[in-house]
Amino acid sequence: MLKITRKVEYALIALKHMQTKEDESLTTAKEIAYQYNVPQQLLAKSLQQMSKNHIIEATKGINGGYRIKANLNGISLKDFFEKLEGPLGVMDCYFDSECQISGCNVKAPIERINDNIRKMLSTMTLEEVTQ
Amino acid sequence: MLKITRKVEYALIALKHMQTKEDESLTTAKEIAYQYNVPQQLLAKSLQQMSKNHIIEATKGINGGYRIKANLNGISLKDFFEKLEGPLGVMDCYFDSECQISGCNVKAPIERINDNIRKMLSTMTLEEVTQ
DNA sequence: GATAAATACGATAAAATTTATCGTATTTAT
DNA sequence: ATAAATACGATAAATTTTATCGTATTTATC
Ligand code: FES
Ligand code: FES
């Protein structure tokens, strides 16, 4: 319950790793995978998704790699999570579909919990987490 | 990611349902299961766990059932979740074991996220959710 | 131009977790 | 005794998460 996925953790590890390097240098998926002993292909997917979302930028080709592109202070943790995993809901009822439970009497309360979690995650920035 | 389980939702549904009834009356698992079309045996386990934790009290035997026992205002959502699901951590590294990722560089940041989620859930009470 | 090393990405397999069911024991009012 | 309820361990089914596979594309270097 309330778990952060590996996909997100791998992304955070990569960001934090890149932040400790000089601005100009590129980092490869292989390098990170080796250093933290993490599955490279899976890590690569987190990197690709961050690239798609302009958090980092990718350089292809033989001397390629990734570097941080965005201002991490401008990205809330809520936005970051949603970029990687889609809309953030503690119950799937809101985005995906309607309630599966007929006449569910706790939809509103659960929505309130959800709002509070989202609100909290909106106050934390990526920079704050990776700094 | 960050999902509330059925086990917890069934518990909330049951609490909310019982709150709308007169104080003295008992509610059976069957009654709730039927009304919300929810698997009775599974719901029963949520009820049993709440009973163990003195949130509700159970009466056995042919005219048995459950009724609310605790003051729901005195129970935070954090405590409630932990009574049902054990220690609340967005990553299993803290309670279960050590980090599986060698030299994980985001343990402290993730712990910070975790603290904030727990802090937030400490400010919400069960009463607030079921009222 | 061939090669090597990197990103990109869809498809699939494996593992883990969540959800549900089964079977049986116990309690208690009638 | 019986019926209707809680209690609970064991197991099965379903779903989700995690990991791997295979292939395509890009690009610096020789
Ligand atoms: S089934 Fe949608 S909130 Fe309960
Ligand atoms: S593996 Fe424990 S926080 Fe990263």
Q: Give the separation between CA B66 and CA B124, rounded to whole angstroms.
A: 24
Same domain, A86 and A118: yes
Residue A1 lies in a domain: no
Cα(A99) to centroid(ligand 1), Å = 5
Q: Is residue A29 part of a domain?
A: yes
DSSP B87: S
Check whether residue B47 and residue B82 sit in a common domain: no
**Is the pLDDT score of A92 beyond 90?**
no
A4 chain-B contacts, CB cut-off 8 A? 1-2, 90-91, 110, 113
Q: Are residues B12 and B64 in the same domain?
A: yes
Say whether both B88 and B122 belong to one domain.
yes
- pTM of this structure: 0.95
- Whether residue A113 is contained in a domain is answered as yes
- Confidence at residue A131, expressed as pLDDT on a 0 to 100 scale: 85
CATH number at residue B33: 1.10.10.10
Ligand 1 pocket test: which of A97, A104, A105, A111 has the largest number of ligand atoms within 8 Å of its C-beta? A104
Same domain, B62 and B11: yes
Least reliable range by pLDDT among A27-41, B7-21, B66-80, B95-109: B95-109
Protein residue with its CA nearest to atom 3 in ligand 1: A107
Report which DSSP code applies to A72. Answer: G
Q: What is the pLDDT of residues B29-55, one digit of tens each?
A: 999 999 999 999 999 999 999 999 999
Q: Which residues of B touch A (CB under 8 A)?
A: 1-5, 8-9, 12-13, 16-17, 35-38, 77, 81, 85, 88, 90-92, 101-106, 109-110, 112-113, 116-117, 120-121, 124, 128-130
Contact A13 B112 (CB under 8 A): no
Using an 8 Å Cβ cutoff, are B129 and A113 in contact? yes
Residues A10 and A64 placed together within one structural domain of the fold: yes
Query: How many structural domains are present in chain A?
Result: 2
Count of beta carbons in the 10 Å neighbourhood of residue A44: 18
In a domain, B60, yes or no: yes
Helices (H) and strands (E) in chain B, counts: 6, 2
Instruction: Please say if the pLDDT value at position A96 is more than 70.
Output: no
Q: Are A42 and A80 in a shared domain? A: no
What is the residue range of B126's domain? 76-130
pLDDT score for A79: 98
3-state helix, strand, coil in chain B (%, to 5): 55, 10, 40
Tell me, yes or no, whether B44 and B63 share the same domain: yes
Give B105 Cα–ligand 2 centroid separation in angstroms.
Answer: 8
- Measured between CB atoms, which of A5, A13, A17 is closest to B1? A5
Report if residue B98 sits inside a domain. Answer: yes
Domain co-membership, B95 together with B47: no
- State the average pLDDT over residues A23-49: 96
Does B1 reside within a domain?
no
Identify the band that residue B22 occupies on the pLDDT scale cut at 50, 70 and 90.
confident
* Pair (A41, A64) in one structural domain: yes
pLDDT of residue B96: 44
My answer on whether B81 and B64 are in the same domain is: no
Q: Take atom 3 of ligand 2 and give the residue whose Cα is closest.
A: B107
Q: Both tokens of residue B30?
A: 């069957």
Contacts of B22 (CB under 8 A, 6+ apart): none
The residue of chain B with its CA nearest to that of A84 is B1
Q: Are residues A46 and A96 in the same domain?
A: no
Looking at A47, A68, A89, which one is the last position of a domain?
A68
> Does residue A94 carry a pLDDT above 90?
no
